Each structure stands twice: as C-alpha cells, then as structure tokens.
Amino acid sequence: MPQKPHLNRRIVLAERPNGLPSKKTLKMETVEVPEINAGEVLLRTIYLSIDPYMRGRMNDTKSYAEPVKIDEIMTGQVVAKVESSNIDGFTKGDYVLSGSGWQDYAVSDGSELMNLGQDPQNASWSLGILGMPGYTAYAGLLKIGDPKPGDTVVVAAASGPVGATVGQIAKIKGCHVVGIAGGSKKCRHVLNNLGFDACLDHKADDFSDQLRAACPGGIDIYFENVGGKVLYSVLPLLNPFARIPVCGVASWYNLAGLPEDLDRGPALMGTILRMKVKVEGFIIFDSFPKETYQDFIRDMSEWLDDGKVKFKEQIINGLENAPEALNDVLLGNSFGKVVIKVA
C-alpha cells in the first residue's frame, strides 16, 4: 500500500505478546498527517529498520528503556525525508535519521535527528552497516572483546547484520574467526562472501562436536547474540581470560516462561569463575563515549571503500509487512539486515 500525502498510517502496540508476537499484537491505524508548528519539522518515512530489540520493548518489564505503551506507535529507527521545516538546519528534501517509529509521517523538534543531506548514497545503510548494527559490532568487539592477532573469535548469528560485521572486523584484526548460523545457505554466505575461517550450522545434531573441532585451541572471544544451546556449547571451550560481549539473546526473546535448562546456571557461573571470563552486556548508545562513534564512522567508511567489509540487506516493501518481518527476524528466517521500504 503506497503512502498518501494526507493520511498517516501507523502501527501501534495493541496488546503485549506472550511468546512470539501474534496478529493481535500490533495493529495498523490511519489518521490525518499532523501539521507542524514553529520549531518543528514534518518527516516522511522512507526506510524503517527491523531489529530484534523491538521484541523486548513490547514487554512491560524493567529494562534499559521504557516499554512501548499500549496503543503507542511501535518504536524503531527510520530514514525519513523532510517534507516541511520550521527549523534552521533542516530544509525540505533533507534525509534524516530519526527514531520516529512505525509510521508514514512524524513531527520532530529536531533535537534527535541526524541530517544525512539531500542526496545520501545508500541511505538505508544508515540503519545498517553505517548505523546501529555496524556500530554495535564495532564497539562491542573492539572495546569489550579486545581482539588480539591470533585470537579465536566465535560469532553467533554470523549471517546477521551485527554478527557478519563482527567477524569481518575480527579478520581485519588478525583473528581466527568461526561463525555460527542457521542453515547451509547462510553458512556458505559467511564463508564465501564474508571470509570467515569456518561457519557451523547450529541446527546440526553434532553441532557441539563441530564447534570443538573448529576451535582446537579454545575460544578467546565469544560474541553473544543468541544464548541457548549455542552458549552452552561455547562454555566448555572458553580459554582463561576469555571475553564475552553480550549484544543479545535472541533465542530467549519469545520465551513465555522460564527456559527448560534451569540447571545451566551453575555451569555458566562456574565457568566464568574458573576461567576468569569477562562478560559484559552493552546497549550501544549508552555504553561508549561519542569518540568511539566517530572512530567507527571513520574506520567503517574506509573498510567499505577498500572492500574489506561487505554488507547484505534484505529490503521488504510496504509498512504493512513490518510485523511479519519482525517475526522472521526473531525466528531466524531473515537473511542480512532487514529494512522496510515504506515509500
């Protein structure tokens, strides 16, 4: 369904999910496009980012950010175009990075907008390799993982936008990189296109044995994106002073209750103690100084120009398809950075 100049489609949280979001979790509404006042700009959404963290924001639990309220617009980063402006520094036609969420149009006071200019190349990349996923990979690996040449780095969700970037940066830093992905197609991409040293299918019956064989010298860095059985297979292979940047635990996001493996706590904490493992969770824009972001933009732009980092997007047309796209991300059915082309 295309955008219309006088109607604002918006997707709101209708009810809190119990497990995987259902068709009742989110609903689309149509309202009039808002008018702007002094000190405001009107934005038209071009691209909407779909990310696993969105599932957590549906829960009414204590977290790093307030949950989305019932009947509130679903949260999300977008690339939008300025339709009209009453703010110096923003003119009609500017592309901006905004947190205005799942809707066609939004009004902003400009305080949280990043101006991308009138004609940015690969504008959607500001939601991916040059945006939050790329920065997450860069800062999490380099500032928490602290890779050294020769380290063995294991990356969960290696074909996703964060994991794929983590592995490529680790290779640039001289590491032995083992990726973990779901299915042979994704593993071939990780090996042949991204240049990992190995990639293992976590669905394989002998996955733990394969991981041990791929890491004969143990694991120095495990970049955590999924939790679950992948984490449990990694634990006995961790070397002394191993580092675990915790970016996400996607395999547990849709749990309706406690996980089945309740006895894993002693194994986890015991390994952390005995192996002196550094485990650090992080929320990307809360955990690092602004200088780290500036370093990221400089380094990643150079690596992209030199062909040292490659990036895969999965672009889906239509705002109405955003709920299904989110579920595909949560279930591991997506491939690359998922972006909704709204306009």
Q: Which fold has domain 7-126+311-341?
A: Quinone Oxidoreductase; Chain A, domain 1 (3.90.180)
pLDDT band at 286 (very low <50, low <70, confident <90, very high): confident
Give the list of residues 6+ apart from residue 294 with CB closer than 8 angstroms, or none. Answer: none
pLDDT band at 2 (very low <50, low <70, confident <90, very high): confident
In 3D, which of 80, 108, 101, 127 has the Cα closest to residue 11? 101
Note the pLDDT tens digit of each residue in 130-153. 999 999 999 999 999 999 999 999
Average pLDDT for 178-204: 97
**260, pLDDT greater than 70:** no
Tell me how far the alpha carbon of residue 55 is from its chain's centroid. 12
pLDDT for 109 equals 97
Q: Is the pTM of this model over 0.85?
A: yes
Please give the Cα distance from 42 to 110 (Å, whole number): 10
Tell me how far the alpha carbon of residue 249 is from its chain's centroid. 11
**258, pLDDT greater than 80:** no
Average pLDDT for 2-7: 90
Distances (CA, A) of 8 to 91, 213, 233, 261, 329: 21, 54, 47, 45, 26
Distances (CA, A) of 326 to 316, 321, 331: 11, 9, 9
Q: Which CATH superfamily is domain 132-285 in?
A: NAD(P)-binding Rossmann-like Domain (3.40.50.720)
pLDDT band at 255 (very low <50, low <70, confident <90, very high): confident
So where are the chain's domains?
7-126+311-341, 132-285
Coil, helix or strand at residue 180: strand
pLDDT for 62 equals 87
Token look-up 């955590």 returns 224
- Supply the mean pLDDT for the chain: 95
pLDDT band at 40 (very low <50, low <70, confident <90, very high): very high
Q: Dihedral (C-alpha) 29, 73, 248, 293: value to the nearest 10 degrees?
A: 130
pLDDT for 261 equals 64
